[in-house]
Amino acid sequence: MSDSRLFKMLYYLLDRERATAPELAAEFEVSTRTVSRDIDALSSAGIPIYAEPGRNGGIYLLHDFILDRAILSENERQEILTAIQSIFATGYAGGKETLTKLSALFNINTRNWLEVDFSRWGKRTYDNSKFEKLKTAVIQCKEIKIVYENTNSKRSKRIVQPLKISYKSKEWYLKAFCMEKQDFRIFKLNRILELELLENTFVPKPYPDIENNSQQTYHQIVLLFSKETAYRVYDEFDTTEIEYQKNGDLIVCAEMPVDTWLVSYLLSFGAQVEIIEPKYLKGVLAAQAQEIYKKNKP
């Protein structure tokens, strides 16, 4: 016996109010004997379902039957409403009527418990509109033209086929197929400086499950942070990568790409960070700090 068929049969009766056994048998491609067994199964599960013989008879549900009490637990009902509400938090507005109806059906008052803001401080209008355009492009399979700044401060114009918006490590990314490179690429949303939604549509290609990291080399980095920066360390590194010292300082051991971004990132800690490994990176950081000093000395 198929639980899926029982559920579909229940919805069919809720929609049609009444049906005959031959009608249900034809709809679900089973015999009338199987329909009878399904009706018995629903009745045994506590569904108020009835069968009346005769010309004007048929199979029907009790008029005031409430679906949630028989099929969905309280937690399941709440999870459904929470899932719908989470979608609205991203800015999607087409479905609030559904949420209202289900809230009434389930007899649950929903609370506005979640808020998602895609913007950086002071960039609310542009960042949110950019996210909306990207969402539209992904859903409607439309190509976009972007101006993008990479980690080497090189700016380029590209036409890409957006496949998925991804959130990872406190940052938003766009997974897409780049028409220029004819390959899959990941773009950081904050570095998409301009975006134009095109009319060209495309058939989406499945994004590879295993990301191609050949462009980025990761090294084992060991850093010593002073206790004054502990709040940042816990914000930006996993606790498994952090070793707490008796004096309050923190040692971090993590795999990171050694590039211009890492140097800039470490400089943002000022004198509150010391490089333990690799040794050569100490010289790179010191040289950069010296350049900063030359440009800004009084």
pLDDT of residue 281: 92
Reference 194, options 249, 129, 246; nearest CA is: 129
- How many angstroms separate the CA atoms of 157 and 175, rounded? 16
Q: Which residues contact 3 (CB under 8 A, 6 or more apart)?
A: none
Q: In the chain, what is the greatest distance between 2 CA atoms, to the nearest angstrom?
A: 101
Residue recorded with tokens 């559904």:
98
> To 10 degrees, the CA torsion angle through 29, 32, 38, 41?
-170
* DSSP string computed for 195-264: EEEEEEE--PPPPPSS---TT--EEEEEEEE-GGGHHHHHHHS-GGGEEE-TTS-EEEEEEEE-SHHHHH
Please, which pLDDT band fits residue 223 given cuts at 50, 70 and 90?
very high
Task: Read off the pLDDT of each residue in 177-193 and give the average, rounded to a whole number.
Answer: 91
Q: Predicted confidence band at 122 (pLDDT cuts at 50, 70, 90)?
A: low
Please determine, for residue 148, whether its predicted confidence score (pLDDT) is greater than 80.
Answer: yes
Q: What are phi and psi of 33, to 5 degrees?
A: -65, -40
Q: Does residue 63 carry a pLDDT above 50?
A: yes
Residue pLDDT, tens place only, 210-221: 554 445 568 899
| Comparison of pLDDT for 252 and 1, the residue scoring more | 252
Total residues belonging to the chain: 298
| End-to-end CA gap in the chain | 83
Give the pLDDT band (50/70/90) at residue 65.
low
Name which of 147, 148, 150 is nearest 260 in CA terms: 150
Angle made by CA atoms 147, 153, 156, in degrees to the nearest 5 = 25
3-state SS, residue 140: helix
Give the Cα separation of 114 and 153 in Å (integer). 36
Other residues' Cβ atoms within 10 Å of the Cβ of residue 10: 20
Residue at 76: amino acid letter: E
